[in-house]
Amino acid sequence: MSNLSIVYIGLGSNLDNPHFQLDSAVEALRQTKHISAITCSYYYSSKAVGPGEQPDYVNAAIRCETSLSPMELLAELQRIENIHGRQRSIRWGARTLDLDLLLYDNICLDEPTLKIPHPEIHNRNFVLYPLQDLNSQLVFPDGKKIKDIMLSTSMDDLHRIDSGLTQQQNHEQ
Ligand code: ROI
């Protein structure tokens, strides 16, 4: 019997060739043990949300299956962020790679180091549009449907861009 969990992970970068950082992160996830069946959303360019001036982001999301627990998966995501030169010194600061555990099956978790669903999930168009690419029927643990939330979510400064390599890989699967 399979006991794989379905997980959605948000990807973001606004430093050191963000498009490349995301390609490389998806590849690192593909290479990670106990993570399988990865599909990637389109990539989006988006204006930085939050205080201060910083470069535009490239954002995307992936759906995958895993036998890792949420905390084990978080450790893998932090390992991948670290090999992409992620510095954690500045809150809200620019970053080479941000990997956020957005959803893990239907669970809700509220730990100091990990909150699932991601607390900002309903408010960020750069998270919602990629999630919708992956699953237009998605229902959040609180029962809200993504298609209802999308009715009041504008694209504003979000632009879909060609995700190149990763989309091609999805089509070949
Ligand atoms: N803004 C955008 N557009 N994309 C992000 O991934 C992102 N990540 C962040 C903050 C600084 C909140 N702003 C962002 O952590």
101-153: pLDDT as tens digits: 999 999 999 999 999 999 999 999 999 999 999 999 999 999 999 999 999 99
With a cut of 90, say whether residue 92 has pLDDT above it. Answer: no
**Cβ contact 60:130 at 8 Å:** yes
Domain positions in the chain are: 5-168
**Residue 48 in contact with ligand 1 by CB distance below 6 A:** yes
pLDDT tier at 169, thresholds 50, 70, 90: low
Topology (CATH) of 5-168: Alpha-Beta Plaits (3.30.70)
Taking the C-alpha atoms of residue 29 and residue 73, their distance in angstroms, rounded to an integer, is 11
Q: Tell me what the pLDDT averaged over the chain comes to.
A: 91
Taking the C-alpha atoms of residue 19 and residue 140, their distance in angstroms, rounded to an integer, is 28
30 is catalytic: no
Residue nearest to atom 11 of ligand 1 (CA): 92
160 is catalytic: no
Which of these, 86, 69, 74, lies nearest to 21 by C-alpha position? 86
- CA atoms lying within 13 Å on the CB side of residue 116: 20
Residue 49 CA to ligand 1 center (angstroms) comes to 5
100 is catalytic: yes
Taking the C-alpha atoms of residue 165 and residue 170, their distance in angstroms, rounded to an integer, is 9
**Residue 98 in contact with ligand 1 by CB distance below 6 A:** yes
Please state the pTM of the whole predicted model.
0.92
**Cβ contact 43:72 at 8 Å:** no
Ligand 1 binding pocket mutation candidate from 126, 127, 159 (most atoms within 8 A of CB): 126
Q: What are the tokens at 69?
A: 């627990």
Provide, rounded to the nearest whole percent, the portion of the chain with pLDDT above 70: 88
50-79: pLDDT as tens digits: 888 899 999 999 999 999 999 999 999 999
Lowest mean pLDDT of 32-36, 86-90, 111-115, name the range: 86-90
Cα 63 to its chain centre, rounded Å, is 8
Give 151's contacts (C-beta < 8 A, 6+ positions apart): none
